[in-house]
Amino acid sequence: MWDLLLMPSRLPRLLAATGLAVTVLTLAACSQQSAEEKPPAAPAAVPGSTAQFGDGPAPETTVSPIATATSEKPAVLLADGRWPGFIAKVAGETVSMDLVEFLTGDAAAAAWQKKYPDSEQDSPDNDYFIVNDNTKLRRLPLSQGIQVTVVGATGPGTEEAIAVSAVEQHFGNLLKGTLFWFTVKQGEVTKIEQQFLP
């Protein structure tokens, strides 16, 4: 009898608990259904890429190896300009030259006095002096079709052009003592001219 009397007071609590459980299960089912129907979010763009939000995944970036030169240019042996020197050897498309200093005037006199302090002369003959204290040879490429300008057969004041390959034959044993001017552009000899020396 007491159980029957207590039932009405438990009933509301029982119904409340049952209703809460039904509500939780209903919410969970709706949440799951909502998650299944929702499309996946677009991946974020990779930093540095051009993709914008909503464009989908950014394109994959491919890292290419840095290209390495298989053949490097030879080091520049002489800066652009006009340089005095002697021809040591001509070989194909290159010339080996011995760079010197060609001095005139006061510079020639000072160099002469330094070289020959006991000399009775204050300056060299003909007012020029060649300083060649370095035996290093520079092998330089020749520009295509280059010719050598030499003093003409009739003497000073005249000139003629000969092929570079003919220089050794043209001068013979005098080649070692014949001074030339070498015009260099971007490491290449573009002109060779004989310097007349009295």
Q: What is the pLDDT of residues 139-195, one digit of tens each?
A: 999 999 999 999 998 888 899 999 999 999 999 999 999 999 999 999 999 999 999
Q: How many CB atoms lie within 10 A of CB 33?
A: 10
Contacts of 59 by beta carbon, 8 Å cutoff, 6+ apart: 49, 51
Contact 149, 159 (CB under 8 A): yes
Confirm whether 135 is domain-assigned.
yes
Confirm whether 187 is domain-assigned.
yes
Name the token pair of 122: 């204050």
Confirm whether 16 is domain-assigned.
no
Q: Which residues pair with 102 in a beta bridge?
A: 130
Name the token pair of 97: 């030259």
pLDDT of residue 156: 84
Domains in the chain: how many in total? 1
Contact 138, 187 (CB under 8 A): no
- pLDDT, tens only, 7-60: 455 545 544 455 554 454 455 555 555 444 545 544 443 333 333 333 344 344
Confirm whether 188 is domain-assigned.
yes
Confirm whether 29 is domain-assigned.
no
CA-CA distance, 93 to 30, in Å (whole number)?
87
pTM of the model: 0.61
**In angstroms, how far is CA 182 from the centroid of its own chain?**
26
Contact 140, 101 (CB under 8 A): no
Confirm whether 175 is domain-assigned.
yes
Name the token pair of 125: 């003959």
Q: Which domain holds residue 95?
A: 81-194
Confirm whether 7 is domain-assigned.
no
